[in-house]
C-alpha cells in the first residue's frame, strides 16, 4: 500500500522468512555459524532455541539456501505437531515429492534408501524441524533419534536441526538418549538497541531506501516497545510506515510510532 510513497522495491517489514532480508547480527551470525559447522562436518544433531519472534526460522531458511547451493538435500518440517509415523511420512514426502507408503516399516525403508542413494551421489541430507517445542509425544523424539542410526562406519547419513522456543530445552533434557546426540545448541536472544537500529536500516536498504526514514526518537520507541524481538520490530515498523503514509509524511518520529502502536491494539 505504501510502496509507491517511498518508491520501494518491496515491503521492508513483512514477517515472512525471506532470506534476502537475513540480518547478520552478532547473535544471528553466531547461530548460523554453529549450525553451519554441524552441517558441514556432517554431525548428528544441533538445537536452536529462542523466544517467539527472535528469528529462528530465518536462520534455518538462510542455512537451507546456502547449503542447497552446495548440493545438500533438505527436508524442512514447519509443523511437527504429528505422531511419530506422521512426522516420518512428512520427512520422506519432502525428500521424494510424491506419495509415501502407509506402513511405518515401508516409510523407514524409503527414508533409508533415500539417505543411502544420496550418500552414493556424494551429497548429504539435512532434516530441519521448526517449532520443535510443539512435539508432545516422546515416541516422536525416539524416532528422530533412531534416524541418526542411519550412518556409515565414518559418518552420519543425516544431520538433524531442531529449532524451537525455550521449552524445547526441557523436553530434550528429559530425553537423555536423544540429548546425548546433540553436538551443540545455541539460544538466540533479542537484539540490543544498536542492533535494532542496524536491523531496521538493513531491511529498509534491501527494500530500496538509501537512508533510514525513522528518526532517533522513533528508533528508541520501536526498540522500547519491541524489546528487540525482530517479529515485533517488524510489526511496529510496518504499522508506523502505514501511519506515516496515511498522514503524507516521509519521515517517522516517536509520535507516529506511538500512534501506530495505539491504533493496532
Q: What is the pLDDT of residues 91-115, one digit of tens each?
A: 999 998 888 999 999 999 999 999 9
What average pLDDT score do residues 68-85 get? 94
Q: At what angle do helices 84-96 and 138-147 cross, to 10 degrees?
A: 40
Nearest to 76 by CA among 152, 13, 163: 163
| Parallel, antiparallel or unpaired: strands 182-188 and 158-164 | unpaired
Can you spell out the DSSP letters for 45-59?
A: EEEEEESTTSSHHHH
How far apart, in whole angstroms, are the C-alpha atoms of residue 174 and residue 123? 33
What average pLDDT score do residues 195-222 get? 96
Query: Per-residue confidence at 1, pLDDT binned at 50, 70, 90?
Result: confident
What average pLDDT score do residues 172-182 get? 90
What pLDDT sits at residue 8? 95
Residue 225 has pLDDT above 90, yes or no: yes
- Indicate the DSSP class of residue 19: G
Residue 53 has pLDDT above 90, yes or no: yes
> Any idea which residue has 511437527 for its cell?
80
Fold held by 26-188: Rossmann fold (3.40.50)
Given a contact cutoff of 8 angstroms between Cβ atoms, the answer to whether 189 and 27 are in contact is yes
Read off the C-alpha cell for 258: 506511538
Query: Per-residue confidence at 218, pLDDT binned at 50, 70, 90?
Result: very high
What pLDDT sits at residue 240? 97
Residue 264 has pLDDT above 80, yes or no: no
Distances, alpha carbon 16 to alpha carbons 55, 56, 94, 136, in Å: 10, 12, 20, 26
What average pLDDT score do residues 225-250 get? 97
Distances, alpha carbon 175 to alpha carbons 11, 19, 93, 134, 250, in Å: 42, 33, 27, 15, 54
- Indicate the DSSP class of residue 250: S
How far apart, in whole angstroms, are the C-alpha atoms of residue 243 and residue 209? 18
CATH class of residue range 191-263: mainly alpha
The structural domains of the chain, with segments of one domain joined by +, span: 26-188, 191-263
Query: Per-residue confidence at 265, pLDDT binned at 50, 70, 90?
Result: low
Distant-in-sequence, close-in-space partners of 116: CB < 8 Å, separation ≥ 6: 150, 157
What average pLDDT score do residues 151-177 get? 93
* Cβ neighbours, 10 Å, residue 104: 13
What pLDDT sits at residue 134? 95
Share above pLDDT 70 across residues of the chain, in percent, rounded to a whole number: 100
Which pLDDT tens digit goes with each residue over 38-48?
Answer: 999 999 999 99
What average pLDDT score do residues 227-236 get? 97
Distances, alpha carbon 118 to alpha carbons 35, 126, 208, 248, in Å: 21, 11, 40, 56
Amino acid at each position: 500500500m505504501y510502496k509507491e510513497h517511498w518508491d520501494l522495491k518491496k515491503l521492508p517489514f513483512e514477517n515472512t522468512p525471506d532470506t534476502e532480508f537475513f540480518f547478520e547480527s552478532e547473535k544471528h551470525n553466531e547461530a548460523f555459524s554453529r549450525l553451519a559447522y554441524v552441517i558441514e562436518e556432517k554431525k548428528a544433531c544441533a538445537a536452536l532455541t529462542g523466544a517467539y519472534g527472535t528469528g529462528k526460522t530465518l536462520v534455518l531458511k538462510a542455512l537451507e539456501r546456502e547449503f542447497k547451493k552446495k548440493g545438500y538435500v533438505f527436508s524442512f518440517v514447519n509443523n511437527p505437531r504429528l505422531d511419530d509415523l506422521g512426522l516420518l511420512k512428512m520427512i520422506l514426502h519432502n525428500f521424494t515429492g510424491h506419495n509415501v507408503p502407509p506402513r511405518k516399516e515401508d516409510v523407514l525403508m524409503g527414508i533409508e534408501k533415500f539417505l543411502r542413494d544420496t550418500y552414493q551421489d556424494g551429497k548429504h541430507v539435512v532434516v530441519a524441524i521448526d517449532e520443535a517445542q510443539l512435539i508432545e509425544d516422546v515416541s516422536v523424539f525416539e524416532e528422530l533419534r533412531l534416524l541418526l542410526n542411519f550412518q556409515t562406519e565414518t559418518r552420519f547419513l543425516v544431520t538433524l536441526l531442531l529449532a524451537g522456543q525455550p521449552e524445547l530445552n526441557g523436553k530434550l533434557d528429559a530425553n537423555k538418549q536423544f540429548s546425548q546426540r546433540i553436538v551443540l545448541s545455541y539460544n538466540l536472544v533479542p537484539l540490543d538497541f544498536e542492533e535494532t537500529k542496524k536491523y531496521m536500516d538493513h531491511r529498509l536498504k534491501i527494500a530500496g531506501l538509501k537512508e533510514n526514514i525513522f528518526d532517533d526518537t522513533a528508533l528508541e520507541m520501536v526498540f522500547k516497545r519491541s524489546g528487540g524481538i525482530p517479529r515485533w520490530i517488524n510489526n511496529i515498523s510496518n504499522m508506523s510506515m502505514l501511519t506515516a503514509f496515511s498522514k503524507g509524511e516521509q519521515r517517522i518520529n516517536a509520535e507516529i510510532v506511538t500512534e501506530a502502536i495505539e491504533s493496532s491494539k
